[in-house]
A and B are shown apart, each in its own frame.
Chain A
Amino acid sequence: MKPTHRELLAASVVLSSLVAPVAVPLGVEAWRRDARAAGMPTITLTGLMDQGAWTDEEVTAGNAWRRDFRRARPQLRVGGTVRLRLASADVVHSFAAPGLGIDPVEVYPGRVLELTVTPAASGIFEYYCTTVCGRPHFAMRGFLEVFPAEGDTLPPLPERPGAGYWSIPPPAGNGTVARGAWLYRRQGCVTCHGEAGAGGVPNPNSMNALVPNLASLARRTFFFTAADLGAFLTVLERSTPLATVKEAPAVPLFSLVKAQYLATYHLVRDGRRSSKLDPAGHHPPLDMPAWGARLSDDELNAILAYLLTLDGGAGDGASPPHRKGESP
């Protein structure tokens, strides 16, 4: 070959070594995506821990710094098989959508998991992340819309409580109840148990169908007046742990109160896996977490103190008297 031909060959080799490694993978991936989409509709969901969301936008090394990815709202049709691709941009997540028959599947960062799903019924179904994946984890839920075979109308999406809960600033002052209220929100309890413990968030296939209402906690802990509750809270603050306190004259039915309080305390501290209503059905997506793994005894007591003050703390509807030094 003449030198110029060799030179041309070399030049084309160098240029293609610059272009091909960019063009070929992109081309191959584009072809793969087209092939996937042609076979059946494909939805790719990527888990994001910082936003607490599954997004259907593409997350790459170049745009992962964004904090405004769109929360996915996949739209499916009854009877239409859809390919679901699950990925994570950061840590281990788990995807669950019991309404579509998807039990929790672990999604590892950098890997892609593929599922196929054929919705049998129309409606609005919730999807979840069921592995604690950071502070915003409890917000990592959204809705799938399954349209009926004919027609395009569905009821509006429900609201869920506690949006942006993890960025609430701490309370001023050092009152136990105020701190408890803050923790209740900041730790994400509000996303399942609702504003002011109202409950009502659905937990499919669980015994209770809905996440329990906590506003009646005081009544269930044998507090009948605000004064009783105030006296108990004073005991709680003065001598912890409560288990060592033998008697407290100021609190009526103290032994009952103590037993019930400790039972609630242990439930919050150790958590509980939700029981299935239908044993053959899917596992309820929402379990009670073991908060003792993250929160101290004082923090747990503060949350319970706050919960006890909900609903007036007693049948008389009045809130307990503010104690000295505590801000409302």
Chain B
Amino acid sequence: MRSPVLGCSPQRLDVLAALPPLDRLVRRRWLPLAPAVVLLALLALFVTAGVLGTPVGNRNGLVVFVWILWWFLLIAVLLPFGARAWCAACPVPLLGDWLQRRSLLGVRSADPRAGKDGPGRLIGRNRYFGLARRWPRALSNIWMQNLGFLLLATFSVVLLTNPLASAVAVGGMVILATAVALVWRQRSFCRYLCPVGGFLGLYSLASALEVRARDRSVCATCRDKGCIAGNERAWGCPWLEYPSRLERNCACGFCLECVKACPHRNMGVFLRPPFAERRLAGWDEAWKAYLMLTLALAYSVVYGGPWGGLKDAANIAESGDWAAFGAYAAGLWALALVVVPGLYLGAAWLGRRMAAADEVSVRQAALAGAASLVPFGLLVWIAFSVPLVLANGSYVLAVASDPFGWGWDLFATASIPWTPVVPHWTPWLQAALVGGGQAAGLRSGWLESLDAFAQRRRALAGFAPTAVLLTLTALLFLRLYTG
């Protein structure tokens, strides 16, 4: 028997209550718009650098600032400590939001009973420009994001090393997000299409921050329901969630509209222990967990490993060898879609057999097992990202002075030579992260198995094969990183 899903973990700190100045700040309409605009300016700058700047990747602002600095800050700082906070300030959907809302700071609201009193579609109490269609039910999951991320990952070498390719990808995302915003409602792009959003959503389960209702009994008697319907203070949740009932971090983009909307000041931002949320909602999320694990492994091997043949095979833009690239892509897809999921599904199936638990479906057992891959996957991705900054972080300092490679020297740092920073600490940091990930993964998987299987002994039997498989995976990463 499964215990009821709790909306919030018992140990949590009400951040807004603890910091009243912050509470006042987040109600301003120009937050999180202001950081988003700054990031939009940076996006425009770096995309320009990606087209008109130097073709040398490690001296081009787009490559260095996005794939070294932004990536590391996202995976190692923002995601573990801020969940999907990036999404609040992300510049990609900014233009789409503006077109939909026809306002940057204001809120277009209307009483639904007053009938049509202006152009635009009415959703709740807010008026939106555009078709504002509902996202198709069949695609209301993260499968599109899984596919998109795998596609990008297949061509990741081209993306990471070629400024023009990165510029096209980033610019393409802005154009796509804006186009989607004109057809589908609110942040459908962010929730169902954005490749970055796919893994941000999954790993935000493990993060230390959440947006939740403070007291659900207040919501029960609320007549305004501004958090989802919108009101004159704020737009209804753009992420198509019902904030009062928000229980999972996955689809909450931290835009804090609900905090602004709630007339009872009942929405809060909470600090909580890491790895507090464990439940995976469906196969799409389980496959995302498998996919991210596979890619962490693949990237650690291709980028971090010493095997040049793989790098050549993946580097299709320079090698022109489509046969080798095809083999590499096929191998990657087989690993991501068949081998890794197969192993973890097999472990779940075996556990279920060992537990002799027929009333627990394979799906339940598999999702419980895949839950262990959320903390493990996140920490392993951070481990992969450590050498990017330790070895190559100095590029950020140098390129800051000359983002286009035109011979500028804005901050007198353009001549800083490539300087690795304590690079020999890398294996130690990686080992600690892999070890921590394994421990946290075992804990998450065990607690989920406890929920799925009725009895402790059966949960132990049910989880044991996955626990062993997870440990073997951890040993594989340890061997790669430290052996």
Contact = CB atoms under 8 A, between A and B. Distances in A.
A219 interface: no
Given A21-B48, A112-B406, A14 B40 contact: yes
A22 B54 contact: no
A293 interface: no
B438 interface: no
Contacts of A20: 41, 44
B163 A61 contact: yes
A26 interface: yes
Contacts of B352: none
Contacts of B55: 59-61, 64, 89-90
B379 to A, nearest CB: 34
Contact of A22 (B38, B44, B98, B162): B44
A324 interface: no
B44 A61 contact: no
A88 B414 CA distance: 16
Given A14-B104, A17-B37, A61-B163, A29 B56 contact: no
B104 A7 contact: yes
Interface in A1-34: 3, 6-7, 10-11, 13-14, 17-22, 25-26, 29, 32
Q: Which of A26, A61, A65, A112 has the most CB of B within 10 A?
A: A61
Interface string B22-50: 00000000100100011011101100111
Contacts of B406: 29, 32, 112
A122 B55 CA distance: 35
Contacts of A26: 48, 52
Contacts of B236: none
A289 interface: no
Contacts of A111: 59, 402, 405, 407, 414-415
B103 interface: yes
Given A3-B105, A7-B103, A14-B40, A110 B33 contact: no
Given A61-B53, A62-B52, A111-B59, A10 B407 contact: no
A155 to B, nearest CB: 35
Given A7-B104, A61-B167, A21 B42 contact: yes
Interface in B402-446: 402-407, 414-415
A109 interface: yes
B54 to A, nearest CB: 5
A90 B59 CA distance: 11
Nearest to A22: B48
Interface string B78-89: 000000000000
A10 B54 contact: no
Interface string A218-232: 000000000000000
Interface in B44-83: 44-45, 48-56, 58-60, 62
A325 to B, nearest CB: 33
A10 B105 contact: yes
A110 B37 contact: no
Contacts of A17: 37-38, 40-41, 44
Given A21-B45, A109-B59, A110-B58, A7 B105 contact: yes
Contacts, number: 102
Interface in A144-193: none
Contacts of A64: 55, 164
A19 B40 CA distance: 10
Contacts of A114: 407
Contacts of B105: 3, 6-7, 10
Contact of B37 (A7, A13, A19, A89): A13
B31 to A, nearest CB: 12
Contacts of B60: 61, 110
Contact of A61 (B40, B42, B164, B414): B164
B164 A21 contact: no
A61 B41 contact: no
B305 interface: no
A276 interface: no
Given A22-B44, A112-B406, A7 B54 contact: no
A312 B407 CA distance: 54
B48 to A, nearest CB: 5
B106 interface: yes
Contacts of B58: 110
B29 to A, nearest CB: 9
A227 B356 CA distance: 89
A114 B406 CA distance: 12
B219 interface: no
B382 interface: no
Contacts of B50: 61
Contacts of A60: 51-55
A73 interface: no
A7 B162 CA distance: 38
A25 B48 contact: yes
A6 B38 CA distance: 17
Nearest to B60: A61
Contact of B405 (A13, A65, A110): A110
B461 interface: no
Nearest to A18: B44
A11 B104 contact: yes
A90, A110, A114 — which one has the most chain B CB atoms within 10 A of its CB?
Answer: A110
A135 interface: no
A110 B54 contact: yes
B467 interface: no
Contacts of B52: 26, 60-62
Contacts of A87: 54, 405, 407
A85 B406 CA distance: 10
B170 interface: no
Interface in A66-125: 85, 87-90, 109-112, 114
B94 interface: yes
A289 to B, nearest CB: 24
23 contacts: A7-B106, A14-B40, A17-B37, A17-B40, A17-B41, A17-B44, A19-B44, A22-B45, A29-B406, A60-B51, A60-B52, A61-B49, A61-B55, A61-B62, A61-B162, A61-B163, A64-B164, A88-B56, A89-B55, A109-B59, A110-B56, A110-B405, A114-B407
Interface of A: 3, 6-7, 10-11, 13-14, 17-22, 25-26, 29, 32, 59-62, 64-65, 85, 87-90, 109-112, 114
List the 6 closest pairs (A to B, CB-CB), nearest first.
Answer: A110-B59, A112-B407, A64-B55, A21-B45, A17-B41, A110-B56
